[in-house]
A and B are shown apart, each in its own frame.
Chain A
Amino acid sequence: MNFAIELTGATVERSGQRVMQDVALAVLPGSWFGLIGANGSGKTSLLRALAGRLPFASGSCRIDGEELADDRAARAMRFGFSPPADKLPDALRGRDVLEHVGGSINDVRPRLGKLHEALGLAPLLDRWIGDCSAGMRQRVAVAAAFAGGHAQVILDEPFNWLDPVAIFDLREVLREMVDNGLTLITALHDLGTLASACDTGLMLADGRVALALGDDALRIAAQNPQAFERQTIDRLRRD
């Protein structure tokens, strides 16, 4: 099978500490891969390493069949990546953020497609980031991941700080984009979204894979989300 992303025995270190070890995962092209786990379980480190924002200490990382574990810059160029909302500079406007990531706003806008409306970006383009609420910053940060027009996108907890309407709209548009060929990897805390929107996933605990969730498992989870939530919470408590 041809995977868009394939990770084997991957290890990430931060400040000399091993924060993720021996992680293996495989993501099919045109699918939504969800990553769950407790705070500090290694989700953010894994996503940043995949997106070339952190180096891998060891292991293999194949993207579109090409081994890129040792080439951080090449990984960074393969993925659209949402910068942490709190790292957006106060002295830039929404438009500036998107232009720094994806070039002219006239080029960025068509790449965003329906996301532009779902994220309510129009009033944010001329607003200073310093004047934005946490939710507004999050909208700009999510849009930034798509500004470069990548076919593979990584979002770290994209639904944080968003209001219920924005969560619903964003989830719907992301699902539609995935159905149209986008390969999406997201860290999530919402088990309902994992069950209903993701195709496959992984649960991390203490920097290791605690549970791999295949498409069958998530299909069953979508049919009975309450039972899935109970089982997953029990598992997270145990690990």
Chain B
Amino acid sequence: MVVGGIGTSLLALTLTSVDDAIVRFMTIAGHGSRRIIVHHARGMTSFLVIAVAECWVWFGPVAAGIVFATGMAIVLLMTLRVLVYRLHAKRFADFLVSILAGLLMLVAYSMPVALPLIALAIVWQLQRRGRAKTWLLA
């Protein structure tokens, strides 16, 4: 089960790679955050559906739940990267994403109940700022 979990996480991570140049190009071409996130999450979503179903069949609902939670965390990380790449150059954006991911992990550890609220607040704030960047070519 551990091997399966690690394998699933690694596969999920490779399916959620985010290319900053593509995010910026799609922003210049007039795509909003949602479309860019959907574009990047397509592979991951299909994988997650199959992985969760397979885990349920082979290892039971607990394993499927863990895979689902891991997948959602990876999708959240991908979402943060897309939103931050719309706002900042790659180097600073990666730094900011690592700070935000660290903050979310801290919240998950100390106040798990508050995690969805904090995550939503961060995503909403980044999305709001990113909306002004659509089409922009500075």
Task: Enumerate chain A interface residues (CB-CB to B < 8 A).
Answer: 14, 48, 52-54, 72-73, 76-77, 83-84, 87-92, 97, 100-101, 144
Residue on A nearest B31 in the bound complex, by CB: A100
Which residues of B sit under 8 angstroms from A48, Cβ to Cβ? 137
Contact present for B19 and A14 (CB under 8 Å): no
Whether B136 is near chain A, meaning CB under 8 Å from some CB there, is yes
Whether B108 is near chain A, meaning CB under 8 Å from some CB there, is no
Q: Which of B21-29, B48-56, B61-69 is the contact stretch?
A: B21-29
Contact present for B19 and A53 (CB under 8 Å): no
In the complex, the 8 A-B pairs of residues with the closest C-beta atoms, listed nearest first: A89-B21, A53-B137, A76-B135, A89-B22, A89-B25, A101-B29, A91-B19, A100-B29
**A93, B1: Cα distance in complex, Å:** 39
Which residues of B sit under 8 angstroms from A144, Cβ to Cβ? 29
- Inter-chain pairs besides A52-B135, A92-B22, A100-B26, 12 sampled, C-beta below 8 Å: A53-B28, A53-B135, A54-B138, A72-B135, A77-B30, A83-B28, A83-B137, A90-B21, A91-B19, A100-B25, A100-B29, A144-B29
Which residues of A sit under 8 angstroms from B70, Cβ to Cβ? none
**A101, B25: Cα distance in complex, Å:** 10
8 A-B pairs (CB sep. < 8 Å): A53-B28, A73-B135, A84-B137, A87-B25, A91-B19, A92-B22, A97-B25, A100-B25
Contact present for A73 and B138 (CB under 8 Å): no
Task: Enumerate chain B interface residues (CB-CB to A < 8 A).
Answer: 19, 21-22, 24-26, 28-31, 134-138
**A178, B73: Cα distance in complex, Å:** 52
Nearest-CB distance from B40 to chain A (Å)? 12
Which residues of B sit under 8 angstroms from A54, Cβ to Cβ? 136-138
**A121, B101: Cα distance in complex, Å:** 42
Nearest-CB distance from B37 to chain A (Å)? 14
**A84, B25: Cα distance in complex, Å:** 10
**A83, B30: Cα distance in complex, Å:** 11
Which residues of B sit under 8 angstroms from A76, Cβ to Cβ? 30, 135
Which residues of A sit under 8 angstroms from B25, Cβ to Cβ? 83, 87-89, 92, 97, 100
Which residues of B sit under 8 angstroms from A77, Cβ to Cβ? 30
